[in-house]
Structure 1
Amino acid sequence: MDQSFRQSLKESTVHGTERFPFGAYSHHFSPGAHVVDSHWHNEAEIFYVVEGEVLFQIGSEYISVRAGEAIFIDGGDLHTGHAQGIHGCRFYAMVFDFGMLASSSYDHVQESIIVPFQERRATFPRRINSETDGRLLGHILEMKRLSEHKPDGYEVAIKGHLFLMLYEASSSGRLVNRSRSDAVDITKTERLKKVILYIQNYYHRSIKLRELADLIPMSEGQFCRFFKSMTGQTPVDYMNSYRVRQAVELLRQPDQKISDIAFDVGFGHISYFVRVFRKIMNCTPSEYRKKL
């Protein structure tokens, strides 16, 4: 695996703290919105859908998750998501370093439970719902409640619920081996990483579809179908989404003009920048800056 490609997609957000590496986030998205751009992180992640429906893609696997269900993403998995239906979606994400459950010494729990989990030889099922994994879902809901209210000692309770999830999955035979990946999927993922690295390096200027297709190489038509199948977005939509995310960071600097920001992130026309920004962020750049 080319580490430069892999590193380019790695999320840089720090989740939780060094002493308690557990971060929880609530999000709401309008119908058809791109919920999660293609990315990965070392930490594991649990998405619980509160309202609506989200179509997740993990590698080349597609999974639809409805309100009241959750999805588990192993650390290192490339993933993306889209709001489905006409009502948008609301979800709660919990991102954590599974090392927080490691034993202080190499005991039986570390050997038989923690290490196999970290190596993906015995990990949680992808889709978690009340029909097949009611007890697991109950622990997820309780961790959500604890994260929202943060009572004294909630950190201990969250670690306890993660341990109990491991017990429930193990005792019910629901632990899954995802240590092996299909060679075809690996090739597709590496091709996608190559294209996304190129976009992230050159987003500030005009990028032609032909440039991206030549990286693989494919015809432009083949490339567009490949990219859409892997990310759920067209190449243009992905580039616009990435550019808007860069613009969001620049808007935090009050001395920069919005027109300058538009050109700095690769938009050739200010009107097009405003239109795309509104579509993705549900507000104009100036309105976003006022919110800050």
Structure 2
Amino acid sequence: MQIKDFKVDKSLKELTSHRTVVLPVACYETKIGDNIQGKIPLHWHEEIQFILTVKGEAMVQINEEKLAVKEGEGIFINSGCLHSAEDVSGDCVYICLNVSPHFLLPQELFSSYIYPYISATNLPYISLNPREEWGKNILDSIMEIKKLINEISPFYEINITSLLTFIWQQLIRNGFQLEFSQAEVEKHMRMKEMLNWIHQHFAEKITLGDIAKAGRLSNSECCRYFKKILKTTPINYLIHYRIQKSLPLLQERDSNVTEVAFKVGFNSSSYFIEKFRKSMNMTPLAYKKNRN
């Protein structure tokens, strides 16, 4: 089994290129358990995303909300929203469709039919229910786009653009009341700034005050942000991130557990082992042996 490393940059923006050779569109099948971290880590991208679970069940987090997406169900994730996915069933597979918002409709229609929706702060996601006609239409269209990309039949690019227009029409015709809150925009911008700072400095000695300063917040407000959006504390997030960064290092044949601990910011190998065991249900050495 190939283990895939889901890559993001220091601001959590996904580095995967979401496009085919000629279109700013990507549609592919993902098995969550194949990722090196055993899940799809927290990230964001400018493209809108549609997910269709084809096997098992995924727990998807979008900003501060979590929801289960069961087999046959789907979800729309809006542009710029932080999101992650975990495998609930142990065998979860989903189809992922990523599309540049600028490709959905002709540019003359962007300001009227695209921008208000991707900038609305009350629409981080929309659940796609196969038992509702519009939801089923979108989910069926995702499958058809995946088929077109795989087969590359004549005029497949035109067929994909037609389906994307249909998908977007099905999504927005339901009369969502759009809201825009500058406070919400600011909140998630500060959250991304703090996460960005952690990802740049995780190997260094870090205090709660350092993280709060990166978000221009007090220590207590910083803790409130992390608790509300990520359901954890800033320091626990830092520890978890350090452990995730240790995984590819432990897979190197000549790596040493103590050296890896210091490389990712732990000042004690015993503390690293304790936190690693709690997070991964095994010791770093056992993980290393299993992966080599």
Q: Above 0.5 in TM-score? A: yes
- Please state how far the C-alpha of 1:218 moved relative to its aligned partner: 2.7
Deviations 1:228-253 (A, max 9, x none): 21123332332133223322343464
Check conservation: 1:136, 1:168, Cα contact below 8 A: yes
In the alignment, which residue of structure 2 is the partner of 1:56?
A: 61
Q: Distance in 2 between matches of 1:225 and 1:135?
A: 40
Check conservation: 1:43, 1:76, Cα contact below 8 A: yes
- Find out whether 1:137 has 2:139 as its counterpart: yes
Q: Distance in 2 between matches of 1:24 and 1:44?
A: 14
Q: Secondary structure at the match of 1:273?
A: helix
Which residues of structure 2 form unaligned runs of 5+? Answer: 1-8
Check conservation: 2:11, 2:193, Cα contact below 8 A: no
- Matched to 1:134, the amino acid is K
In the alignment, which residue of structure 2 is the partner of 1:28?
A: 32
- Find out whether 1:12 has 2:30 as its counterpart: no
- Please state how far the C-alpha of 1:285 moved relative to its aligned partner: 4.6
In the alignment, which residue of structure 2 is the partner of 1:75?
A: 79
Q: Distance in 1 between matches of 2:273 and 2:29?
A: 27
In the alignment, which residue of structure 2 is the partner of 1:105?
A: none
Check conservation: 2:79, 2:118, Cα contact below 8 A: no
Q: Distance in 2 between matches of 1:238 and 1:159?
A: 44
User: In the superposition, relative to structure 1, how do residues 11 and 176 fare at CA in structure 2: closer, same or farther (>3 Å)?
Assistant: farther
Moved more, 62-71 or 158-167: 158-167
- Matched to 1:96, the amino acid is N
In the alignment, which residue of structure 2 is the partner of 1:119?
A: 115
Check conservation: 1:169, 1:175, Cα contact below 8 A: no
- The 5 A counterparts of 1:218-237 are 218-220=218-220, 222-237=221-236
User: TM-score, length-normalised on structure 1?
Assistant: 0.70
- Please state how far the C-alpha of 1:263 moved relative to its aligned partner: 0.9
Deviations 1:190-226 (A, max 9, x none): 2212221221122102322243235542344x53232
Check conservation: 2:227, 2:233, Cα contact below 8 A: yes
Q: Distance in 1 between matches of 2:16 and 2:79?
A: 14
Q: Secondary structure at the match of 2:267?
A: coil
Q: Secondary structure at the match of 1:10?
A: coil
Q: Secondary structure at the match of 1:245?
A: helix
Q: What percentage of aligned pairs have identical amino acids?
A: 24
Check conservation: 1:45, 1:93, Cα contact below 8 A: no
Q: Distance in 2 between matches of 1:68 and 1:203?
A: 39
User: In the superposition, relative to structure 1, how do residues 37 and 290 fare at CA in structure 2: closer, same or farther (>3 Å)?
Assistant: closer
- Matched to 1:8, the amino acid is S
User: In the superposition, relative to structure 1, how do residues 184 and 122 fare at CA in structure 2: closer, same or farther (>3 Å)?
Assistant: closer
User: TM-score, length-normalised on structure 2?
Assistant: 0.70
In the alignment, which residue of structure 2 is the partner of 1:42?
A: 46
Check conservation: 1:227, 1:233, Cα contact below 8 A: yes
Q: Distance in 1 between matches of 2:19 and 2:273?
A: 33
Q: Distance in 1 between matches of 2:117 and 2:94?
A: 26
Q: Distance in 2 between matches of 1:53 and 1:171?
A: 24
Matched residue count: 271
In the alignment, which residue of structure 2 is the partner of 1:3?
A: none
In the alignment, which residue of structure 1 is the partner of 2:6?
A: none
Q: Distance in 1 between matches of 2:20 and 2:280?
A: 28
- Matched to 2:235, the amino acid is V
Q: Secondary structure at the match of 2:139?
A: helix
Moved more, 239-248 or 191-200: 239-248
Q: Secondary structure at the match of 2:189?
A: helix
- Please state how far the C-alpha of 1:113 moved relative to its aligned partner: 5.7
- The 5 A counterparts of 1:229-248 are 229-248=228-247
Check conservation: 1:139, 1:161, Cα contact below 8 A: no
User: In the superposition, relative to structure 1, how do residues 17 and 200 fare at CA in structure 2: closer, same or farther (>3 Å)?
Assistant: same
Q: Secondary structure at the match of 1:131?
A: coil
Check conservation: 2:14, 2:44, Cα contact below 8 A: yes
User: In the superposition, relative to structure 1, how do residues 236 and 176 fare at CA in structure 2: closer, same or farther (>3 Å)?
Assistant: farther
Q: Distance in 2 between matches of 1:34 and 1:266?
A: 22
In the alignment, which residue of structure 2 is the partner of 1:185?
A: 184
User: In the superposition, relative to structure 1, how do residues 94 and 171 fare at CA in structure 2: closer, same or farther (>3 Å)?
Assistant: closer
Which residues of structure 1 form unaligned runs of 5+? Answer: 1-5, 103-108
Q: Distance in 1 between matches of 2:153 and 2:180?
A: 36
